[in-house]
Amino acid sequence: MEVFTEKNFISICDKLAIQDHDLHSIIHQYGYPPLWKRAATFETLVHIILEQQVSLASALAALNKLKEKIGQITPVNLLLLSTEELKACYFSRQKIIYTRHLASELISGQLNLEELNAMDNDAIRTTLTKIKGIGNWSVDVYLMMVLQRSDLFPLGDVALIKSIRETKELPKETSREAIAIIAAKWKPYQTVAAFILWHSYLNKRKRQAI
Q: Please report, for residues 23, 58, 92, 155, 203, the alpha-carbon distance to residue 49 in angstroms, rounded to integers and kept in the order given.
A: 29, 12, 11, 17, 24
Q: Where in the chain is the domain with CATH 1.10.340.30?
A: 42-145
Cα–Cα dist 159/171, whole Å? 15
**Per-residue confidence (pLDDT) for residue 208, from 0 to 100:** 67
The helix/strand/coil state of 69 is: helix
For the residues of 133-158, what is the DSSP string, one character each? T--HHHHHHHHHHTS-BS----TT-H
Written as one letter, the residue type at 198 is W
**Per-residue confidence (pLDDT) for residue 55, from 0 to 100:** 87
Comparing CA positions, the residue from 69, 98, 68, 93 lying closest to residue 83 is 93
165 burial type by CB count under 10 A (0-12 exposed, 13-18 middle, 19+ buried): middle
**Per-residue confidence (pLDDT) for residue 207, from 0 to 100:** 77
Q: Topology of domain 9-36+151-204, per CATH?
A: Endonuclease Iii, domain 2 (1.10.1670)
158 burial type by CB count under 10 A (0-12 exposed, 13-18 middle, 19+ buried): exposed
Q: How many CB atoms lie within 10 A of CB 17?
A: 18
Cα–Cα dist 136/138, whole Å? 5
**Per-residue confidence (pLDDT) for residue 179, from 0 to 100:** 97
Ranges in the chain, pLDDT < 70: 208-210
**Per-residue confidence (pLDDT) for residue 120, from 0 to 100:** 96
8 burial type by CB count under 10 A (0-12 exposed, 13-18 middle, 19+ buried): middle
Pick the CATH number of 42-145 from 1.10.10.60, 3.30.1360.120, 1.10.340.30, 1.10.630.10: 1.10.340.30
Q: Where in the chain is the domain with CATH 1.10.1670?
A: 9-36+151-204
Q: Global pTM? A: 0.94
Q: How many CB atoms lie within 10 A of CB 157?
A: 19
pLDDT per position as a tens digit, 144-164: 999 999 999 999 999 999 999
Give the number of C-alpha atoms closer than 13 A to the C-alpha of residue 110, restricted to the C-beta side. 12
